[in-house]
């Protein structure tokens, strides 16, 4: 089973929590035991599992990336002015795989799924959610 979630982003660097969308897809699938793959399309975004209880964690992630991978100093900036976006996306990676346990995402209490936007704002970011049934 496969579904596409379309989101919009408002900032150049932003973490967008998509956990509830993915949980809804898993619930409606009826899969009790399996795997969920969450994949963001595009070369300047990533998928990260991170804490959502305290927003400061998300802010720290963005601030760390700004320090480690600064804007405006990369060869690719001569083309699109987004060399840092490609590097950040490459570090995070485009996907995460989460087990389905007893019909629910196998995330811990403090884990949520985030789209990491590194080249926003974007009117549309497509996230492909693929479910595998492991009966």
Give 55's pLDDT tier (boundaries 50, 70, 90). confident
Judge if the upstream peptide bond of residue 121 is cis by omega within 30 degrees of 0.
Answer: yes
**N- to C-terminal Cα distance for the chain?**
14
Strand partners, 16: 115
pLDDT at 131 over 90: yes
CB distance 27 to 103 below 8 Å: yes
pLDDT at 53 over 90: no
Give 123's pLDDT tier (boundaries 50, 70, 90). very high
CB atoms within 10 A of CB 127: 24
| Per-residue pLDDT, 61 | 97
Q: Supply angle C-alpha 34, 36, 40, rounded to 5.
A: 165
Kindly report, residue by residue over 17-31, the tens digit of the pLDDT. Answer: 999 999 999 999 999
Q: Supply angle C-alpha 86, 105, 113, rounded to 5.
A: 25
Q: What is the rounded CA–CA span in Å between residue 107 and residue 10?
A: 26
Q: What's the pTM?
A: 0.95
| Per-residue pLDDT, 98 | 98
Return the CATH number of the domain spanning residue range 2-133. 2.60.120.460
Task: Please choose, from the candidates 2, 30, 11, the residue with its C-alpha nearest in 3D space to the C-alpha of residue 125.
Answer: 11
The percent of residues above 90 in pLDDT, for the chain, comes to 95
| Per-residue pLDDT, 135 | 79
């Amino acid at each position: 089973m496969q579904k596409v979630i379309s989101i919009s982003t408002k900032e150049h660097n932003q973490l967008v929590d998509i956990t509830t969308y993915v949980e809804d897809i898993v619930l409606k699938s009826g899969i009790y035991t399996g795997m969920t793959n969450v994949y963001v399309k595009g070369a300047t975004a990533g998928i990260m599992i991170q804490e959502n209880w305290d927003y400061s964690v998300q802010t720290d992630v963005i601030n760390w990336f700004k320090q480690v991978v600064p804007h405006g100093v990369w060869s690719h900036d001569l083309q699109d002015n987004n060399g840092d976006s490609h590097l950040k996306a490459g570090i995070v990676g485009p996907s995460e795989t989460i087990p389905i346990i007893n019909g629910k995402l196998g995330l811990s209490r403090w884990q949520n799924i985030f789209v990491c936007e590194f080249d926003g704002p974007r009117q549309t970011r497509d996230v492909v959610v693929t479910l595998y049934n492991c009966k």
